[in-house]
């Protein structure tokens, strides 16, 4: 998904898992959504084993690759701290 962040455009890679589908194209609007944020140096694929487990999929589960991780693309600003990363996540959620 292409998102305009405070520091410029970012093309975020993300995946969605629902109770009925470990690799869904959309959220189930009747369920709450849990957003998974990965640690530094690893992409969102770290969560895929959890997404594949039907006993854990009771909600919409969404994992995204943060800027400069995995398949997310965009220019990394000269200053990119936790604040800018949080602004990116907010822009993604909006």
Cα 11 to chain center, whole Å? 11
- Domain chopping of the chain, boundaries: 2-93
Regarding predicted confidence, which is higher, 94 or 41?
94
**Residue 26 confidence (pLDDT) above 90:** yes
Question: Contact at 8 Å (CB) between 67 and 6?
Answer: no
Instruction: Specify the pLDDT at position 40.
Output: 84
List, for residues 27-67, the tens digit of each pLDDT value.
999 999 999 999 888 889 989 898 988 888 899 999 999 99
Question: Mean pLDDT score of the chain, rounded to an integer?
Answer: 93
Would you identify the CATH topology of the domain 2-93? Rossmann fold (3.40.50)
Instruction: Specify the pLDDT at position 50.
Output: 87
Q: Bridge-partner residues for 10, per DSSP?
A: 3, 74
**Measured distance CA(1)–CA(48) in Å, rounded:** 19
Residue 93: band (very low, low, confident or very high) from pLDDT cuts 50, 70, 90: very high
The secondary structure of residue 81, as a DSSP letter, is -
């Amino acid at each position: 998904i292409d998102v305009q962040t405070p520091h410029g455009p970012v093309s975020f890679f993300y995946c969605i898992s629902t109770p009925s589908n470990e690799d869904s194209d959309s959220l189930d609007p009747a369920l709450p959504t849990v957003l998974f944020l990965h640690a530094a140096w690893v992409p969102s694929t770290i969560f895929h084993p959890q997404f594949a487990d039907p006993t854990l999929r009771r909600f919409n589960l969404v994992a995204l690759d943060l800027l400069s991780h995995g398949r997310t693309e965009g220019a990394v600003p000269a200053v990119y701290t936790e604040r800018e990363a949080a602004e990116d996540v907010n822009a993604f959620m909006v």
